[in-house]
Structure 1
């Protein structure tokens, strides 16, 4: 039985989760934002309906949750509430990780957490304990979630840890999608202070976006503002539209997208995240890194009025982390 710490703790939980077959039972008081949770646990538990998903938490502590993540757990599994819960248990099939770490980005990337994967005897005891705690807890109904979800909460742990230095790297999600920087608006007609607080938005393109696929991630950039807007996930292949508005003559292609960072999109103009400044910061931290997928070191293509720039994955994740940090620090 080895003590897990730091990057080893992060990697062990992700490896167990990637190979999950039938059970994911979690007891934690703090639950972070959805993209971080997908990196910590992978996504097999979301996509495989045969997996028993249980989340035990304390719904009375409403500052402890990210509302979007709670909705996901409610959708794919069962949730119950136990007043005063402080334990952190991750039961994956016939393994149990007993740890100090909450299910948050801050815990697994910015804190000095420890944990152990229990041997068989301890694992059986942990399952019995989880069942006992589950039996004395109360079922969380959809109405119980309304106040949390309507307030679009972020976990207090994430907000409190926003200024902590990065210590460990969360594993990348298993994907084959691409990351794009997507200018929105034009120099002549900037978007002003338009709010992006809807879960669904539409992305528009000037030329045939043959390389943009379903599940690709678009990081919106306000032309003329020099500020990032929000993060979007393409939900359908772009198609040409028949709208009669004058602006559609310049941007005739359209694709439905999911807004992955609604809290940021609500106040993007106040956060002042400049992608060109982030280029400098990223290269100072990673001198051998790249900005574009073509191994470029700048975002110069934006200046030539390209309607999208294919980003290097690591730089794109760096930008998204900055967006999450700004949101969690609200």
Structure 2
């Protein structure tokens, strides 16, 4: 038995991909599905012979729209890769289970809180248990299938569902004023609980020769953060606000989780690194959508607060502009940036797909 925790590198996504690679049949049991078919590495599981999906299809316009699009993409994927696709509907479903077979033998299963969505498999705080007891897995599978009373959704049935859905557009809805109770709660004055003894740093990622890609994600629970020189002064518990060289947009916020480590190749240009705990993974997953630009934010902070952004009081990024790989900033400016990013991270975490 193994406990899966999204706050580690061994998250649900990684575990599922590993089981897919060692199996020829998979059963996905998930009431909610991602709005996007591209969120998961289906391109890495082309050798699978069959995928069975068990989910819900309730009388909700947005849920039906999401499910029909996902079903269509799944069938198209199956046709392209010669994978048998079976879609079953169980509207009393609440559990999330992932089952894997090899040569018609049950091999592995995951029972979890994680839906088959990007947030469920990677970003949400989800826990699951994986195990490899064939008889137990077979018993669970038999119970799952025996409770399904509706016929499977074939490609023909899906076409009929799609036509029915298209011919009955969503009725005009009365706008109901809602109260955002989470917004009322607001953020703590020190949301990441940063002790006064810990320093906040700006940390560039990439270089003028090698910009990071705009579609690159910073959503893993931990990241290795590299330095050209030994980052003396940076200690465990310090905060690194990472930003993209060139774009100068904040990528995510990291808490230093290790002492200085050294790469195995002494000729590496970035020879030193630290393990960073990613504190704003939802933001890091879509950093390129948000205009948190370190130069603009410094200007706004100094103008609004009449305080210094750097300990020297010069409010200059000169060290970074000359190729430096870190810059200490004041706790006031650091928390100003942190509060903005944490607020965005909070809002993203409460979007519709985070169910």
What's the TM-score once normalised by structure 2's chain length?
0.46
What's the TM-score once normalised by structure 1's chain length?
0.49
Give the number of the structure whose alpha-carbon radius of gyration is greater.
2
